[in-house]
Chains A and B, each alone.
Chain A
Amino acid sequence: MTTQQKLDPLVFYSRDMGLNVNGYKSSGTIVVPKNNKYKIKLNPPGYAKMDFIILKTCHKEISVEKAGRKETIWHEPNVGIEDTGLCMAEISALEHKLGRHSFANIDFESDLFQLPSLVKCNGNTYNSRGTTICQSKEGLVQVIEFPEEVIPATTGKCGVLPSVDNKTFKYKTPNRICSFIFKGKVSGKFAKLTTIGYERLAIRKLK
């Protein structure tokens, strides 16, 4: 029996893992307040069994085997490396029998990104304190609004998001994962927006 069947490894699927991080709940992606320890509870959709879990950051890659249908992972950021605001965590949970793999991206608030914004993302509107993730199907229109004029970085691998007034950025979600950094013209504070543009919803055929 093969385990790489149901999902195509060359397609970037929606992040849809059920998450509870230090009590904050979400599905697929989440930004959580800064802490020195994160209790990450995983609950994949479809009551899938997680046979193999991998958590990867800029610093470490840890795996858990035979995890079951729910699992808790502890993430203690290594000071100076993982707590800088530049080090997102990516989780992949793989299921052997039915191949209902599930993914998640977790970002952590930091002292570095303190410029707030109003985010209109995939049907939801919410306030961000400086660190934002917005996931949608690639190509869909999203908005991030800042309370002051900002300077967007131009050197990022995904280019610059469009804006007419440098306060409101209305953009089409780029393919896969992109990071955009902004600096408030008045406050000098920074904001980070991570866009996740998936190519296909992960639909897991049940038996």
Chain B
Amino acid sequence: MTTILTAAIPIILKLLQWAFGKSDISKEQKEAFLKFYEAHEKLGNQSVKEMDDINKQLEELKKE
């Protein structure tokens, strides 16, 4: 019985981890995430640039 339980614990833990979606990622994986994020971010709204663009348009229209 003890042997079965001992063997089952890692499987149960894996199942729980799958169910609740928590997993550890390594430093290399985090680095890879950041690399992806930074490359992809340049394609979209770089928030401050977007804000400057809107501000410029607002300034123009406030003069109208």
Which A residues have a C-beta under 8 Å from some C-beta of B?
1-4, 7, 9-12, 49-52, 54, 56-58, 65-70, 86-88, 90, 92, 94, 96-97, 101, 103, 105, 112, 151, 153-157, 176-177, 179-183, 190, 192
B45 touching A88, Cβ below 8 Å: yes
A136 to B30, CA, bound (A): 31
B33 touching A51, Cβ below 8 Å: yes
CB-CB nearest 9 A-B residue pairs: A153-B57, A68-B21, A9-B39, A181-B57, A69-B21, A4-B36, A3-B32, A58-B47, A183-B61
Q: How far is the CB of A44 from chain B (nearest CB, A)?
A: 10
User: Contacts A66-B22, A69-B21, A156-B53: A90 and B47 contacting too (C-beta < 8 A)?
Assistant: yes
B50 touching A153, Cβ below 8 Å: no
Asked if B44 is at the interface of the complex by the 8 Å CB criterion, the answer is yes
Which of A69, A96, A101 contacts B25 (CB under 8 A)? Answer: A96
A96 touching B23, Cβ below 8 Å: yes
23 contacts between A and B (CB under 8 A): A4-B32, A4-B36, A10-B39, A12-B44, A51-B23, A51-B29, A52-B30, A58-B47, A65-B25, A65-B30, A66-B25, A88-B47, A90-B41, A94-B36, A96-B23, A96-B29, A97-B23, A151-B61, A151-B64, A177-B44, A179-B50, A179-B57, A181-B54
Complex: chain B residue closest to A15, CB-CB:
B44
B47 touching A57, Cβ below 8 Å: yes
A179 to B55, CA, bound (A): 10
Q: How far is the CB of B7 from chain A (nearest CB, A)?
A: 25
Contacts of A112 in B (CB 8 A): 58
A39 to B56, CA, bound (A): 31
A3 touching B57, Cβ below 8 Å: no
User: Contacts A57-B47, A155-B57: A3 and B33 contacting too (C-beta < 8 A)?
Assistant: yes
A3 touching B36, Cβ below 8 Å: yes
Q: How far is the CB of A148 from chain B (nearest CB, A)?
A: 14
Complex: chain B residue closest to A185, CB-CB:
B64
Asked if B4 is at the interface of the complex by the 8 Å CB criterion, the answer is no
Which of B29, B47, B64 contacts A87 (CB under 8 A)? Answer: B47
A90 to B61, CA, bound (A): 26
Question: C-beta contact mask, B33-45 vs A, less than 8 Å → 1, else 0?
Answer: 1011101110111
